[in-house]
Chain A
């Protein structure tokens, strides 16, 4: 392993999974500012290094990745405005911690897609696993198929749009933002949500703690129509709106350690 003085490098690699010396393969075909990269046979780290090399060193703003092979953590931490297209499925934590890209996945994604996205658009053509859009802060996450459990857990902004059904505890601990579910949702919808709104077109199995149905306003209708039209998702007809019942809001009372200080 190369010893680099004055530069922090990962040296501990007991399980052989870290690849401290990985380099971008630089095998992309670049034409007219567009790049196509075949990820077959490359590790997660090398795929990500290639994307970074294209964005940062080559200044390419339109990248297509072929055969991502459901690898985990692909396309993470991209802070440039660009177009990304993945021809195939991604594994867990795909497109997490991004700020700016417009990404499309022509396949399925595993757990925690687009977690903590700050801004941008992520569109998934097929299904997504659990925790889609965990801690989402901004942008649009669109899943054309079904999603697993706890979609948008701890969501702090942005919009999650699901063309199909959603599982257990959708919108768990949601704090801000919107969710639009065109299909049915599982038990415990909006459990412990603080704020934000969840729109459901299908059947709601049960509501979670402190989640209540609210009146759907004209502004809501307009927003729903606009969002669904923008992504070419058929409007299912009618939506119901759910939000926080504010029974768990106890912001006025002091925390035990604060009380000690004040009293």
Chain B
């Protein structure tokens, strides 16, 4: 089933998007209790933020586990140094998830490829304002684990997952970062039936896929278009023709939040457009979780594409 949500504050206003998204996702826990994910956008900075996991959260906590993590962590720092990235901050958020703030000017793809060559390492996101946090459990427990309550920013998307097509692990959890393009993330509710065709097409163009999840295609597909200077709205419209299946997805870039609904209108989406913010979700309860007064909401129609700027 899965549940998706998005919120964007207009006029570049900064708010507690971490706690807002937590409330939105927690109210949709019944749509997906397996894992919860956040893609949060803070005000853009000069430095890059790297969210990375070095092991599977399900792994047994043996002595070998901590040794392994220590080795991988050292290797990560060494590799970042080798590609010319200066590490400003490096913090362990859990015993397997790390957050690094780095100064790096070079090519993102080569950086990520080099880092991911470390066994067990997976880059969850890279960007000047994007940070992806995803883990097993409901929104409140993931937010507490990663300290998201004080995360301020302009926009965010999130996802609660009921695993149907692939495993219950972090690799299968949304949001998906659009490797190797910074600051692009996607959450998706639905199934893409021409997944394998698109995966092969994109792999031929040199993209890597971290999971077996069909939703990852959307992120990479859109980022590939954005990289060729296609405007976000056009890219999303083209995706409606290119993707088969049923879907509602939300995509975010550094400045924009876009949403698409398939031509069969098979997956839900409720939309609230206020003067200072736009909130959307699979269910109205999620929007009510962040807005306390009576509001008018509606369901976008089949094949509808909408884009907002922060």
Contacts and interface: CB of A to CB of B under 8 A. Distances in A.
B294 interface: yes
B288 A148 contact: no
Interface stretch (A26-34, A50-58, A104-112, A237-245): A104-112
A88 B299 contact: no
A183 interface: no
Nearest to A148: B299
A110 B271 CA distance: 11
Given A110-B283, A186-B301, A15 B33 contact: yes
Contact of A148 (B283, B287, B294, B301): B301
A127 B266 CA distance: 18
Chain B contact patch, size range:
20 to 34
A70 interface: yes
A151 B287 CA distance: 24
A142 B265 CA distance: 22
A129 B288 contact: no
A71 B297 CA distance: 14
A167 B301 contact: yes
Contact of B285 (A69, A145, A167, A187): A69
Given A69-B288, A186-B301, A168 B283 contact: no
A168 B302 CA distance: 7
Contacts of B294: 88, 107
Interface string B283-304: 1110110000010111101100
A72 interface: yes
A145 B298 CA distance: 9
Interface string A137-176: 0000000011011100000000000000001100000000
A146 B297 CA distance: 11
A91 B265 contact: no
A70 B24 CA distance: 13
Contact of A167 (B268, B283, B288, B302): B302
A248 B270 CA distance: 35
Interface in A90-104: 91-92
A61 interface: no
B284 A70 contact: yes
Given A15-B30, A168-B264, A186-B302, A108 B288 contact: no
Nearest to B266: A149
Given A15-B30, A127-B297, A149 B265 contact: yes
A129 B299 contact: yes
Contacts of B266: 149
A230 B301 CA distance: 29
A15 B33 CA distance: 7
Contacts of A91: 283-285
* Residue of A70, A72, A108, A146 with most chain B CB atoms under a 10 A cut-off: A70
A130 interface: yes
Contacts of B298: 108, 127, 145-146
Interface string B240-269: 000000000000000000000001111010
Contacts of A192: none
A116 interface: no
A49 B42 CA distance: 43
B284 A108 contact: yes
A129 B281 CA distance: 13
Contacts of B302: 149, 167-168, 186-187
A129 B270 contact: yes
A110 B284 contact: yes
Contacts of B284: 70, 89, 91, 108, 110
B301 A149 contact: yes
Contacts of B288: 69-70, 89
Given A15-B30, A15-B33, A88-B294, A130 B283 contact: no
22 contacts: A70-B283, A70-B285, A70-B288, A88-B294, A89-B297, A91-B283, A91-B284, A92-B283, A110-B268, A110-B270, A126-B296, A127-B298, A127-B299, A130-B268, A130-B299, A146-B298, A148-B301, A149-B301, A149-B302, A167-B301, A168-B264, A187-B302
Interface of B: 29-30, 33, 263-266, 268, 270, 283-285, 287-288, 294, 296-299, 301-302
The 10 A-B residue pairs with the shortest CB-CB distance, nearest first, are: A70-B284, A149-B265, A148-B299, A168-B302, A127-B298, A129-B299, A167-B301, A70-B285, A70-B288, A168-B265
